[in-house]
Structure 1
Amino acid sequence: MIGKLYLIPTTLGDTAEPLEVMPLSVKKVIEQIDFYIVENEKSARRFIKKISPKKSQPSLHIMLLDKYAEELETTKYLDVCKEGINVGLLSEAGVPAIADPGASIVKLAHENNIQVVPLVGPSSILMAMMSSGMNGQNFAFNGYIPIDKGERKRVIKDLEKLSKEKNQSQIFIETPYRNEKMFADLKATLAPTTNLCIAADITLPTEYIKTMSIQNWKRHTPDLHKKPAIFIIQK
């Protein structure tokens, strides 16, 4: 029997109790798996211990999937599945393989006829879309917006135009320490009537989710500094 690849979600921040934002099935799977592919060993071990305090930490086999991981090495990460051993792909925050490097491991699993089992958990992208009041029937995730000011302005205008032409909500993210700069650029670039949703610290006690037109946002200044945030626009 071939082992399976479980896609294991994590919390979107440091919450008191992980099971407040994800189902018991995640805990059950973690208690059964000892082989994990993760971005950061320290935070992965901390999450596993938090959700399953009795699980033996020395028994864990951690395989790193970060910018230093060699491609040749990562192609061997699922070899243990041939021995009937299940492997968990653990996201750093939220769900694996969505705005996350884990997609390469999922692709590898399909290429080797290894069953992929996605588990339910918090996705900041979908939760922001759910709570935005914008078009949930037609939306696109665009990842990170360019840093260069000129190019960024062009991309923002292009997304606004695309939103209007296709009636499509446009979702994107930014590095937390550049959130305030992003907010300033959006106010300066978008049309006054374009709607903007900002969803920050989703599922955390400091959660902030608000949708308004740009003309109304110009009268508000939310605290976004170093907070994970999702931005959504719709014309």
Structure 2
Amino acid sequence: MPGTLYLIPNTLGETAALNHVIPEHVQALTAQLPHFVAENAKTARAFLKLVHAVHPLARPLQEIGITELNVNTKADALHALLAPLRAGHDVGLLSEAGVPAVADPGADLVRLAHREGIQVRPLVGPSSLLLAVMASGLNGQSFAFNGYLPTDAALRSKRLKELETRSRQEKQTQLFIETPYRNAQLLEALVASCQPSTLLCVATDISLATETIRTRTAAQWQSALAGGQAPDFHKKPTVFLLLGQ
């Protein structure tokens, strides 16, 4: 009988107390797993050390198998990652930040597990996307995550206008993210591309001590930027949301 693939949530950044964002039962289950698939083995070990401080690991850290799955992993390598599961061992799919398989390369492995009849169990933890929707005040009944926008300025502006039109017509909140060092450029593009009445939310460092979440119209953001009041979001994970009015 194959093992179970557990989807293990991670923190959204450095946090003083793991219990603030990762439920205790998730930590306890994580501590028992003999194998993990993670984007980065080094950061996965750092997470397991935090878990160990509260729930001692069932085996020494150096004996726990950690295999990497990231953007460089070839599609034909996924089959081998499920080997421990086929042998009857449980495996944890650990995200680099937040929940696995959402804006995360783990989705392909989860799909393959379903194809092979392997049980998949998602565990509770922080999702920056859902937390951003919750705190934005924008439409939480209908929303879409669009990943990264084009880096080319003209293509990005075109895409933003398309998303704004769709948002206004369907009353649908649009979410997207950016490489943290380009946050300022994206906010400037939003202000320049969107109608003055469009609502824009900038949610930074969600669940961390430095968290800031602010919703304003595009016109209000334009005034803030012109007055030198840009968010403190340089090189910080940020979710952007818009809702056309």
TM-based fold match above 0.5: yes
Q: Does 1:194 align with 2:203?
A: no
How far the C-alpha of 1:92 sits from its partner, in A, is 0.3
Specify which of 220, 226, 239 is matched with residue 230 of structure 1.
239
Specify which of 124, 131, 153 is matched with residue 120 of structure 1.
124
How far the C-alpha of 1:59 sits from its partner, in A, is 1.5
Q: Does 1:20 align with 2:24?
A: no
Q: Which moved more, 1:218-227 or 1:197-206?
A: 218-227
Specify which of 76, 80, 85 is matched with residue 80 of structure 2.
76
Aligned positions, number:
235
**Aligned counterpart, 1:36:** 36
**Aligned counterpart, 2:227:** none
Alpha-carbon distance between aligned partners in 1 of 2:123 and 2:198, rounded to the nearest angstrom: 35
Alignment check: 8 A CA contact 1:6 1:119 kept: yes
How far the C-alpha of 1:83 sits from its partner, in A, is 2.1
Give me the CA root mean square deviation.
Answer: 1.0
Alpha-carbon distance between aligned partners in 1 of 2:179 and 2:93, rounded to the nearest angstrom: 23
* Structure 2: gaps (5+ residues): 225-229
How far the C-alpha of 1:179 sits from its partner, in A, is 0.1
**Aligned counterpart, 1:111:** 115
Specify which of 212, 217, 220 is matched with residue 213 of structure 1.
217
**Aligned counterpart, 1:183:** 187
Alpha-carbon distance between aligned partners in 2 of 1:185 and 1:117, rounded to the nearest angstrom: 39
How far the C-alpha of 1:43 sits from its partner, in A, is 0.4
**Aligned counterpart, 1:145:** 149
| Counterpart amino acid of residue 21 in structure 2 | V
**Aligned counterpart, 2:159:** 155
Alignment check: 8 A CA contact 1:30 1:52 kept: no
Superposition pairs for residues 47-62 of structure 1, below 5 Å? 47-53=47-53, 54-55=56-57, 56-62=60-66
How far the C-alpha of 1:67 sits from its partner, in A, is 2.9
Alignment check: 8 A CA contact 1:89 1:102 kept: yes
How far the C-alpha of 1:26 sits from its partner, in A, is 1.4
Alpha-carbon distance between aligned partners in 1 of 2:93 and 2:242, rounded to the nearest angstrom: 31
Q: Deviations over 1:6-41 (max 9, x none)?
A: 000000000011111121121111111010000001
* Structure 1: gaps (5+ residues): none
How far the C-alpha of 1:94 sits from its partner, in A, is 0.1
Alpha-carbon distance between aligned partners in 2 of 1:68 and 1:164, rounded to the nearest angstrom: 37
Alignment check: 8 A CA contact 2:31 2:51 kept: no
Alignment check: 8 A CA contact 2:33 2:92 kept: yes
Runs of 4+ off more than 4 Å = none
Alpha-carbon distance between aligned partners in 2 of 1:97 and 1:189, rounded to the nearest angstrom: 31
How far the C-alpha of 1:70 sits from its partner, in A, is 3.2
How far the C-alpha of 1:142 sits from its partner, in A, is 0.4
Q: Deviations over 1:149-205 (max 9, x none)?
A: 000000000000000110100001100000000011111111111000110000001
**Aligned counterpart, 1:6:** 6
Alpha-carbon distance between aligned partners in 2 of 1:2 and 1:74, rounded to the nearest angstrom: 16
Specify which of 155, 163, 171 is matched with residue 167 of structure 1.
171
**Aligned counterpart, 1:101:** 105
| Counterpart amino acid of residue 129 in structure 1 | V
Alignment check: 8 A CA contact 2:12 2:205 kept: yes
Q: TM-score, normalised by structure 2?
A: 0.93
Q: TM-score, normalised by structure 1?
A: 0.97
